[in-house]
Structure 1
Amino acid sequence: MAVAFLLYVIAEVAAIWAVGSLVGVLGTIALLIAGAFVGSWLARREGGKAMRAFVTKAQSGRPADKELTDGMLIAVGGILIMVPGFVSDLLGLFVLLPPSRALVRRWWLRRAEKRAVRFANQRRGPVMVVDSEVVAEDPRPTTHPVIEGRIVEG
């Protein structure tokens, strides 16, 4: 994690240095401020859309996992845009724009599902989930309190 943060800082400094060499100090500062304003406007607009979609789904009684994840990703994108720097602005825009946000959402949900199954396997023993049905459980007793029932996806 520390290496990734160090690489991010190096990339950010290099990007600011390159833009500063092209447009000057005042131009670089103006671009950073303009990026923050445009990004915050975009985050507010996309956040409002995600909130309306979430409320609509919740009122209809259907699962709103997509809308909830979109709201979280929009918040992350807004934070990335508010952090000064061009690399963070590009990452924030990538997360804020709907087509690329769909890619990030799919990746994020697959990752969360794998982590949830891994956590369940550590706490309860091996569990296999197929189409939201638990088909095999480890019958060994555990020392941890276990809530009986099924693992629910989504």
Structure 2
Amino acid sequence: MAVIFLLWVIAEIAAIWAVASLVGFLSTLGLLLAGAIVGSWLARREGGKAARAVLDTARSGRSPLGEVTDGMLIGLGGLLIFVPGFVSDVAGLLLLLPPTRALVRRAWLKRLKRRGPLAPRGFGGGLHSSGRVIVVDSEVVDPSRHDRRDPPQRPVIEPE
């Protein structure tokens, strides 16, 4: 991860250096400032649209997974816009524009589906995929495992 961060910093410095060589130092600062202003306006506009889409989808009873993912990508795009540099500005702008955000969202959701289920099963997650009961603060989370009249038994914690 440190290597990726270092490469990103080097790319940002190289991009700023190249732009400053072409248009000058003050123009480069102006471009960075203009990118932050336009990006923040776009992030606010797209974020509002995403929030309304989540509410509308949830009200209709459908899963708002795509809309929530859009909101997450808009937030990441807005964060990248505020990081100084042209590489992060371009990446943030791509996440803020609906056509490219849709491509990233599809790829992200496809990756999540390959990794496992997107929603917990049962009551509050209840049974883990291995069939074990999840224990929180020494209490059994799944109420179907014991009768409510009998006090719950202290679970035995087995090493994995």
State the TM-score, normalized to the length of structure 1: 0.76
2:134 aligned residue: 145
Report the Cα offset of residue 111 of structure 1.
1.8
Q: Which amino acid aligns with 1:92?
A: G
Q: Partners in 2 of 1:58 and 1:108 — Cα distance?
A: 21
Q: Aligned-pair RMSD on alpha carbons?
A: 2.0
Q: Partners in 2 of 1:11 and 1:83 — Cα distance?
A: 13
2:70 aligned residue: 70
Q: Partners in 2 of 1:145 and 1:99 — Cα distance?
A: 41
1:79 aligned residue: 79
2:34 aligned residue: 34
Report the Cα offset of residue 113 of structure 1.
2.2
2:147 aligned residue: none
2:95 aligned residue: 95
Runs of 4+ in 1 over 6 A off after TM superposition: none
How many residues were matched structurally?
Answer: 128
Larger mean CA deviation between 103-112 and 34-43 belongs to: 103-112
2:55 aligned residue: 55
State the TM-score, normalized to the length of structure 2: 0.73
Percent pairwise identity? 63
Q: Partners in 2 of 1:109 and 1:60 — Cα distance?
A: 21
Report the Cα offset of residue 54 of structure 1.
1.0
Gap runs ≥5 in structure 1: 126-140, 149-154
2:107 aligned residue: 107
CA deviations over 1:128-148 (Å, ceiling 9, x no partner)? xxxxxxxxxxxxx75x63888
Report the Cα offset of residue 14 of structure 1.
0.3
Larger Rg, first or second structure (1 or 2): 2
Q: Match of 2:109, SS?
A: helix
Report the Cα offset of residue 76 of structure 1.
0.3
Report the Cα offset of residue 96 of structure 1.
0.7
2:17 aligned residue: 17
Report the Cα offset of residue 31 of structure 1.
0.4
Report the Cα offset of residue 67 of structure 1.
0.7
Gap runs ≥5 in structure 2: 121-127, 136-140, 143-160
